[in-house]
């Protein structure tokens, strides 16, 4: 995603960190790959970037462009016409692999489409513990009404010893739950334990792969941060995902520290929890966040960009206007810049003081590097070590074979961390345990309290 979600428009305003910067770190990594000759001789890696605007349905529509080159019977002649009425010659791009989408829900929707055409996909910001399992939504998978969440809060209030509440659900559902907490005057009554979707990206839990990750999280939390056996308090667990119930039940029953389990099931495909407005209710939440390190050289690269020097990114001028709150002569009018009265004077510059960097750009860079190393190894085996360019056996690239090489990559990325996939196809499992707390009156912040 480059833009945020917008309820009444296809796309919302530009997303500076997770959107624009993620795009730029992808381009930066491609530059490094091609300059270091990581790819075989005679070959460069390139990118074809589309914006899903943080919406699963729109992201799925955009993903169709990724597969057009893999479908022989798609004809775009009726979609475009030249001025003289003739049909243009359209060369659909053949995509070897896909990096993204950023949210778990969109990733799953896109993956269901891509797998039909054997196009491998690496999802970089979809950070839930059990990302790779498909989420099956029930027919009544819309967001529940307020009574549903009120009933959950009231049930929790009836259990006097249950002060720790473990919540599994989409970010939008958690937001609705926090509203119910406020409506029922339950602010401060419970300590919430959530997934990384509370603080980072969307949460999408599946079935089998969740068990180990959940046991690790709960075990670490119970043994190091909160011991119900000594405090005399019980845990309650709420699953807002229909498909998670049985697995969550098994995990909780397997833990000696978790005494009570109640499950309220509901599914929702929406993403990106907005904590704003619910700080008091969310205060005290324990969550997890993937560990990441800066991509070497990227910050200097980004801070030296200007609209004039960065012609390859069509969204950069929009970012520039948003960042400096001015209208640029090269920018188009949008619903989000019409309020800017000042004209950019050309003296604006990005600095470390006025620029905040996305903390998890490493995952984008690692995903691009993984494809580069997989393609190099595939080329060595298929075409031969000394072959220059793309041999006939790799034209077009077989996605199923490429996926096999992707699973075997093992390299040190631009962050300095070693990267490889585990047996389940997930990246390295390095997490921070974070606590949402009030650091001063009216000021709330996620604070790191542990690691695993």
The pLDDT score that the predictor gives to residue 260 is 37
CA distance 356 to 362: 15
Q: How far is CA 212 from the centre of its chain?
A: 21
Q: In total, how many domains does the chain have?
A: 2
Q: Kindly state whether residues 253 and 160 are assigned to the same domain.
A: yes
Q: Kindly state whether residues 195 and 99 are assigned to the same domain.
A: no
pLDDT tens, position by position, 255-269: 444 333 333 332 222
The pLDDT score that the predictor gives to residue 168 is 62
Q: Kindly state whether residues 132 and 250 are assigned to the same domain.
A: yes
Q: Kindly state whether residues 113 and 146 are assigned to the same domain.
A: no
Q: Kindly state whether residues 133 and 192 are assigned to the same domain.
A: yes
Identify the CA nearest to 192 among candidates 147, 149, 237, 230: 237
**What CATH number corresponds to the domain at position 344?**
3.40.50.2300
Q: Kindly state whether residues 134 and 251 are assigned to the same domain.
A: yes
**Sequence-distant (≥ 6) Cβ neighbours of residue 423 within 8 angstroms:** none
Q: Kindly state whether residues 152 and 48 are assigned to the same domain.
A: no
Report in angstroms the alpha-carbon separations of 415 from 99, 122, 289, 299: 18, 18, 17, 12
pLDDT tens, position by position, 149-203: 888 888 888 877 666 676 766 566 677 788 888 898 888 887 776 654 443 333 3
State what percent of residues in the chain have pLDDT above 70: 68
Residue 134: count other Cβ atoms within 10 Å of its Cβ.
13
pLDDT tens, position by position, 217-234: 445 444 444 444 444 445
Q: Kindly state whether residues 249 and 340 are assigned to the same domain.
A: no
Range of the structural domain that residue 137 is part of: 128-199+231-262
**Sequence-distant (≥ 6) Cβ neighbours of residue 97 within 8 angstroms:** 119, 120, 121, 122, 371, 399, 402, 406
Residue 419, SS3 per DSSP: strand
Report the sign of the C-alpha dihedral through residues 137, 140, 146, 147, in that order: negative
Q: Kindly state whether residues 120 and 160 are assigned to the same domain.
A: no
CB 26 within 8 Å of CB 122: no
Identify the CA nearest to 375 among candidates 343, 401, 345, 354: 401
CA distance 42 to 262: 59
Model pTM score: 0.68
**pLDDT exceeds cutoff 50 at 311:** yes
pLDDT tens, position by position, 432-448: 887 888 888 888 888 88
| More confident site: 218 or 425 | 425
DSSP at 99: E
| Torsion angle, alpha carbons of 8, 5, 48, 135, to 10 | -110
The pLDDT score that the predictor gives to residue 305 is 97
**pLDDT exceeds cutoff 70 at 142:** no
């Amino acid at each position: 995603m480059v833009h945020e979600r917008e309820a009444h428009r296809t796309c919302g305003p530009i997303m500076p960190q997770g959107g624009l910067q993620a795009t730029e770190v992808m381009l930066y990594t491609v530059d490094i790959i091609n300059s270091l000759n990581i790819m075989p001789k005679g070959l460069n890696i390139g990118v074809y970037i589309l914006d899903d605007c943080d919406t699963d349905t729109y992201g799925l529509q955009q993903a169709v462009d990724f597969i057009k080159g893999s479908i022989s019977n798609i004809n775009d002649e009726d979609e475009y016409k030249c001025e003289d009425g003739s049909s243009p010659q359209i060369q659909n791009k053949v995509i070897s692999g896909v990096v993204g989408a950023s949210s778990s829900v969109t990733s799953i929707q896109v993956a269901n489409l891509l797998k039909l055409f054997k196009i491998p996909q690496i999802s970089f910001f979809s950070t839930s513990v059990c990302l790779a399992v498909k989420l099956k939504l029930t027919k009544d998978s819309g967001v529940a009404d307020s009574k549903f969440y009120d009933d959950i809060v009231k049930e929790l209030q009836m259990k006097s010893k249950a002060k720790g509440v473990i919540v599994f659900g989409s970010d939008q559902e958690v937001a609705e739950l926090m509203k119910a907490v406020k409506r029922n005057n339950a602010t401060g009554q419970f300590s919430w334990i959530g997934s990384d979707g509370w603080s980072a990206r969307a949460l999408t839990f599946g079935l089998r792969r969740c068990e180990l990750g959940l046991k690790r999280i709960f075990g670490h939390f119970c043994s190091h941060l909160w011991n119900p056996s000594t405090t005399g308090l019980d845990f309650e667990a709420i699953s807002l995902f229909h498909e998670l119930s049985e697995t969550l039940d098994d995990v909780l029953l397997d833990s000696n520290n978790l005494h009570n389990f109640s499950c309220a099931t509901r599914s929702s495909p929406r993403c990106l929890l907005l904590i704003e407005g619910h700080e008091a209710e969310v205060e005290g939440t324990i969550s997890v966040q993937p560990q990441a390190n800066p991509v070497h050289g990227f910050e200097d690269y980004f801070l030296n960009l200007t609209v004039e020097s960065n012609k390859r990114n069509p969204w950069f001028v929009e970012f520039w206007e948003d960042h400096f709150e001015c209208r640029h002569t090269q920018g188009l009018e949008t619903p989000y810049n019409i309020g800017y009265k000042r004209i950019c004077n050309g003296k604006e510059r990005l600095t470390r003081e006025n620029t905040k960097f996305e903390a998890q750009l490493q995952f984008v860079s690692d995903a691009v590097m993984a494809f580069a190393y997989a393609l190099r190894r595939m080329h060595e085996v298929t075409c031969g070590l000394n072959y220059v360019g793309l041999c006939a056996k790799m034209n077009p690239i077989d996605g199923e074979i490429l996926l096999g090489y992707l699973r075997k990559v093992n390299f040190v990325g631009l962050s300095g961390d070693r990267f490889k996939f585990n047996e389940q196809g997930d990246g390295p499992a390095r997490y921070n345990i974070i606590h949402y707390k009030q650091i001063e009156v009216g000021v709330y912040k996620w604070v790191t309290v542990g690691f695993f």
